[in-house]
């Protein structure tokens, strides 16, 4: 019996090695497969620990090989020829790089920009092929959305639009949820959620015609509760849920929906010192006197360190995001969710599966070191001393 168990163990390990090797070899063209490899490892580890019979092991082995083969066969990339895509927020950052990347792959790119006379729009016209068309597209402006739709529809005509990539977004001034002005909550929702929804609704008839792809750029912060991002994270969480519901509804039409939840990448979304000055002034101007006393101006001003961290510690290499978006619009069977960026998938898993009390403890230990406290918490008796 011991020999049989040993043979089973080696058999399962051999199957795992073959499957894992296949998965890892395909990883560069098939984002998300590493997660699959982890699941397979867990499955076969469980099989070995349960000490199932060789017959059951053979059945599980055959079933797993079939599932992996079926999945990998769906990772074949469709050709880019004659496929048109719309990218919003193309002035700078990921959207700007994405337009160049997709243009080089052979897609016809409609680059929606906030300022068609700006430097970002000019660079796209100068460096990309004649297939790329820059569109004035403020996604909070219904008239500009309607005008962009007309130009795209005229260009693509009967072929339809293959993909819409809702990339445009804003961060705002990160601070405690109590301190963020309502105007900033509304602004984040207007751009990150309502703007993406309105663009989606406007262009869906073209996507249904082509049975194409809808790709929405959410964020890791839309699934992980990070401090100081109440406005931004709430809007991205709303976009993620909107996308998940449309994924189910639009599947009947042959349209596939994917959500990109990137981690920390260095873009212009964090703004600059002038932007921070304006947002901080707006925050202080609308803050009740009692709340401002409890938190203190020094605490509010210290929140800039979070913005500095975004600009200095985030990755400048957008390639993981670009590859995932390429997969989402090109793979025969794309994934529903992508999590590009170092540690991004792990954080999403921790936030999804751990009990809240454990997740809060871990995140506080990892991210809360050296965190400045509001004045009333750092010196609880300061009001009494002042009187």
Active site residue 232: yes
Phi, psi angles (nearest 5°) of residue 110: -105, 110
Asked if 255 and 212 count as a contact pair (C-beta separation under 8 A), the reply is yes
The neighbour count for residue 53, using CB atoms within 10 Å, is 10
Asked if 133 and 111 count as a contact pair (C-beta separation under 8 A), the reply is yes
Asked if 89 and 168 count as a contact pair (C-beta separation under 8 A), the reply is yes
Structure-token pair, residue 140: 């909070």
Question: Based on the number of CB atoms within 10 Å of its own CB, is 370 exposed (0-12), middle (13-18) or buried (19 or more)?
Answer: exposed
d(CA 350, CA 371): 22
**Catalytic one among 232, 299, 338, 345?**
232
144: left (phi over 0), alpha (psi -120 to 50) or beta: alpha
Give me the active site residues, please: 232
């Amino acid at each position: 019996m011991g020999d049989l168990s040993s043979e089973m163990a080696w058999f399962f390990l051999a199957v795992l090695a073959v499957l894992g090797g296949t998965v890892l070899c395909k990883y560069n063209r098939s984002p998300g497969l590493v997660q699959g490899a982890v699941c397979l490892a867990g499955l076969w580890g469980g099989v070995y620990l349960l000490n199932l019979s060789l017959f059951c092991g053979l059945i599980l082995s055959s079933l797993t090989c079939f599932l992996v083969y079926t999945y990998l066969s769906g990772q074949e990339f469709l050709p880019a020829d004659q496929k048109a895509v719309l990218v919003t927020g193309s002035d700078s950052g990921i959207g700007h790089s994405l337009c160049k990347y997709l243009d080089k792959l052979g897609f016809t790119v409609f680059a929606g920009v906030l300022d068609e006379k700006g430097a970002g729009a000019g660079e796209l016209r100068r460096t990309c092929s004649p297939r790329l068309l820059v569109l004035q597209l403020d996604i909070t402006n219904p008239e500009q959305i309607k005008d962009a739709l007309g130009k795209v529809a005229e260009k693509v005509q009967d072929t339809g639009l293959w993909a819409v990539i809702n990339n445009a977004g804003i961060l705002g001034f990160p601070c405690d949820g109590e301190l963020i002005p309502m105007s900033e909550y509304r602004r984040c929702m207007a751009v990150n959620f309502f703007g993406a929804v309105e663009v989606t609704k406007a262009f869906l008839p073209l996507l249904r015609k082509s049975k194409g792809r809808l790709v929405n750029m959410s964020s890791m912060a839309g699934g992980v509760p990070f401090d100081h991002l109440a406005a931004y994270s709430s809007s991205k969480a709303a976009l993620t849920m909107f996308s998940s519901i449309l994924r189910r509804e639009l599947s009947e039409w042959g349209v596939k929906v994917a959500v990109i939840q990137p981690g920390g990448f260095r873009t212009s979304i964090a703004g600059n010192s002038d932007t921070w000055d304006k947002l901080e002034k707006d925050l202080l101007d609308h803050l009740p006197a009692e709340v401002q006393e409890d938190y203190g101006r020094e605490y509010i001003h210290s929140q800039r360190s979070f913005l500095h961290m975004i600009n200095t510690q985030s990755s400048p290499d957008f390639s993981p995001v670009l590859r995932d978006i390429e997969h989402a619009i090109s793979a025969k069977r794309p994934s529903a969710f992508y999590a590009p960026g170092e540690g991004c998938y792990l954080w999403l898993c921790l936030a999804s599966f751990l009990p809240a009390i454990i997740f809060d403890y871990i995140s506080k230990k990892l991210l809360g070191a050296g965190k400045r406290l509001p004045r009333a918490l750092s010196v609880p008796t300061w009001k009494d001393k002042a009187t």
